[in-house]
Amino acid sequence: MASKKSWPLWEVFVRSKNGLEHRHFGSLHAADAEMALENARDVYTRRNEGVSIWVVESKHITASNPEHNGELFEPAQDKVYRHPTFYEVPDDVKHM
Amino acid sequence: MSEEQIKSLEQKFNQRIDRDEKIEPKDWMPEKYRQTHIRQISQHAHSEIVGMLPEGNWITRAPSLRRKVALLAKVQDEAGHGLYLYSAAETLGISREEMYEQLHTGKAKYSSIFNYPTITWADMGAIGWLVDGAAIINQVPLCNTSYGPYARAMVRVCKEESFHQRQGFEIMLKLANGTPEQKEMAQDALNRWWWPSLMMLGPTDAESVHTEQSMKWKLKRKTNDELRQQFIDQTVPQADVLGLTIPDPDLKWNEERQSYDFGDIDWEEFWQVVKGHGPMNKERMKARVNAWENGAWVREAAMAYADKKEKQHSKEAV
């Protein structure tokens, strides 16, 4: 059983309706992309959850490591000047 | 890592859970958290998959097209729920094959309720009404559990599950209001499924070995006994609507507790079934192992075809 090559894992992304982005829905196993699409349709869209499906083999996704969250994301925390409320504008100035 | 480092990581981890933060697959987690989640999520997945068998037994014999499409859709949902849950467990580092192996060798358990036979059509009603009813009570709190992939899978499961219970209740209602023979059939199904449904919510708190740790990790939000009382309190009035009698002579409203008192559960039976001596344990496992083994050539052929196409594709590219 284990000696045979098993079906790879795929990540499934579904667009629930036009105008919205594809969102990660889950994963599944399939022999190839076509089967992954068909399985995704059966597993994740039985109740009109989608109008478009993307599948990508999980091994092609590179994920950031939570242990590096500090160096990756903390620098953004003290950059308040990237937000509009940092700037002082008199109350009577409209449309800004 | 030194023992001290692990201790400090564990402390931070527990604080995150106390703050209701979710844990995601690549986050550091204590080994015991990982193992407990693999055990619970995979057993939950196995229960969905084995749970298709008792109902699959009736798909071809459903009494009308309406009942047949509903039952088919329900069984298909259960396959889907099993797949959501297997994928959630896989994010913790166990492979799908390993989980199947554990199921097939009896190392992993599944819900003991599926080791009872479905001998009449009314059993489809009783399963939907009682077994799915008890499952919902178990599952709703899990939508808020600490492990992100499990919680997300449970949100999907719970959304889909309520039709399961309603279609079961509708079957019971129709039979209970039918001919005397039909009503008797419904009563007989209730008689057989009532006690196993109560057992399904797990051993009493005093006997439950995992409860305390699981509550800390929010893998459990209420104890088995609390869930069981909730199930009884909400199901008794439903049985009254059906005009059926719950097979427990000690069942009585307790004004003071604002809850139903109920009779003793035969835990000896529960443990016998868990240990593999239920009426259908062998048959269920045989069906799963056969499905896996007889499907092997299909899985291999699909993989060989995918490999061949891939090779052709790269040849064309050159």
Q: The domain that contains A45 carries what CATH number?
A: 3.10.20.520
Task: Let me know if residue A68 belongs to a domain.
Answer: no
Contact check, Cβ <8 Å, A31/B97: no
Task: Let me know if residue A44 belongs to a domain.
Answer: yes
Contact check, Cβ <8 Å, B97/A1: yes
Any long-range contacts for B73-77 (C-beta under 8 Å, 24+ apart)?
A: B73/A46, B73/B163, B74/B128, B74/B163, B74/B164, B74/B167, B76/A42, B76/A46, B77/A46, B77/B160, B77/B161, B77/B164
Is pTM beyond 0.90 here? yes
Task: Let me know if residue A35 belongs to a domain.
Answer: yes
**B80 touches A at CB < 8 Å:** yes
Task: Let me know if residue A92 belongs to a domain.
Answer: no
Mutation target among B78, B87, B159, B308 for the A interface, most CBs of A within 10 A: B87
On the question of pLDDT at A2 being above 90, the answer is no
Task: Let me know if residue A79 belongs to a domain.
Answer: no
Q: How many residues does chain A have?
A: 96
**B305 touches A at CB < 8 Å:** yes
Contacts of residue A66 in chain B, CB cutoff 8 Å? 24, 26-28
Task: Let me know if residue A43 belongs to a domain.
Answer: yes
Q: Give residue-wise pLDDT tens across range A59-96.
A: 999 999 999 999 999 999 999 999 999 999 999 999 98
Contact check, Cβ <8 Å, B95/A6: yes
d(CA B318, CA B313): 9
Mean pLDDT, contiguous 10-residue spans, chain B (318 residues): 88 94 95 96 97 96 97 97 97 97 96 96 98 95 95 95 94 98 98 98 88 87 94 98 98 97 97 94 97 96 95 84
The total of structural domains in chain A comes to 1
On the question of pLDDT at A1 being above 60, the answer is no
Task: Kindly report the backbone phi and psi dihedral angles of residue B254, in degrees, each rounded to the nearest multiple of 5, phi listed first.
Answer: -105, 105
What domain range is A14 assigned to?
A: 2-61
d(CA B273, CA B112): 6
Contact check, Cβ <8 Å, A43/B97: no
Task: Let me know if residue A55 belongs to a domain.
Answer: yes
Task: Let me know if residue A75 belongs to a domain.
Answer: no
Taken in order A56, A62, A64, A65, is the CA torsion positive or negative?
Answer: positive
Tokens of B132: 């799915």
d(CA A10, CA B114): 30
What is this model's ipTM?
0.90
Mutation target among B100, B299, B312, B313 for the A interface, most CBs of A within 10 A: B299
| Kind plus residue range of the DSSP H or E element containing B25 | none
Q: State the average pLDDT for chain A.
A: 93
Contacts of residue B90 in chain A, CB cutoff 8 Å? 9, 27
Q: How would you class B209 by CB atoms within 10 Å of its CB: exposed for 0-12, middle for 13-18, buried for 19 or more?
A: exposed
Task: Kindly report the backbone phi and psi dihedral angles of residue B189, in degrees, each rounded to the nearest multiple of 5, phi listed first.
Answer: -65, -45
Mutation target among B84, B99, B162, B311 for the A interface, most CBs of A within 10 A: B84
Q: Mind telling me how many Å the CA of B303 is from chain A's nearest CA?
A: 5
